[in-house]
Amino acid sequence: MSASTPVILLTGGSRGLGAAMARKLLAEPIKAKVVLIARTEPGMKALQAEYPGQVEYVIGDVGKDEVNEAAVKLAVDKFGSLTGAIFNAAILDPIAPVAKADVSAWKNLFDINYFSLIAGLKAAIPYLRESKGKVVFISSGAAHHYFYGWGAYGASKAATDHLAATLAVEEADIVPFSLDPGVMDTDMQGFIRSHGEGMVSHEHDRFLKLKSEGGLSPPEDPGSVAVNLVLGCPKELAGKAIKFNDPALAAYRDYKA
């Protein structure tokens, strides 16, 4: 393997935004080596067959520390290094107001959306220091815009943004970045449209309208930005949290805004 070949850890890589990012990493001209984590195998297995020698994967729940640790070990054992990570895996459920909160469901969401990042980072940091690697956290506009019933998800994404900024302060040789991918045409949006009972009607109607009026971005658009950042995010962006179509990221887009 060429010393310049990127080796990237990607969570939630079997479908939606994760699959879009995986394909961009694996295809020409990048031809990265990629270690995927997801709960279901078919999407990852298909990518491994399509890009032989470039893909390894771990089947499991990122909410389990050992799954994240195994993926980092797999990257180093199979590909010899780790040059970047994209932490993408996340869930939206539970959708409910705080007054009706299922605390165990909140804890499960945080295990997946936030504490998995800590487990993955702790295992990956020694190798990312060595490679002067990049880390992209997939965040959300819900980190700073507040929706009825979305307290768990929004809080986990606000914590993600804070983690990116903290890592920038702590790790001089690693460049972390938190990317808001906007509202995409993925399974999560389908989940939102079918779970209006936990939301107020005007907010739910907004998501229905975005779908019916073509207001959802294809995942390839924010996905291309995330990939370009994990390959070459500059030091001056370390710790920042920015939306994918912000003018500050124009140089990292593969599409016309």
Residues noted as catalytic: 139, 153, 157
SS3 of 67-100: the string is HHHHHHHHHHHHHCCCCEEEECCCCCCCCCCHHH
145 CB neighbour count, 10 Å cutoff: 10
* CB distance 199 to 148 below 8 Å: yes
CA-wise closest residue to 241 among 132, 168, 149, 147: 168
Region for 87 from its dihedrals, namely left if φ exceeds 0, alpha if ψ lies in -120 to 50, beta otherwise: beta
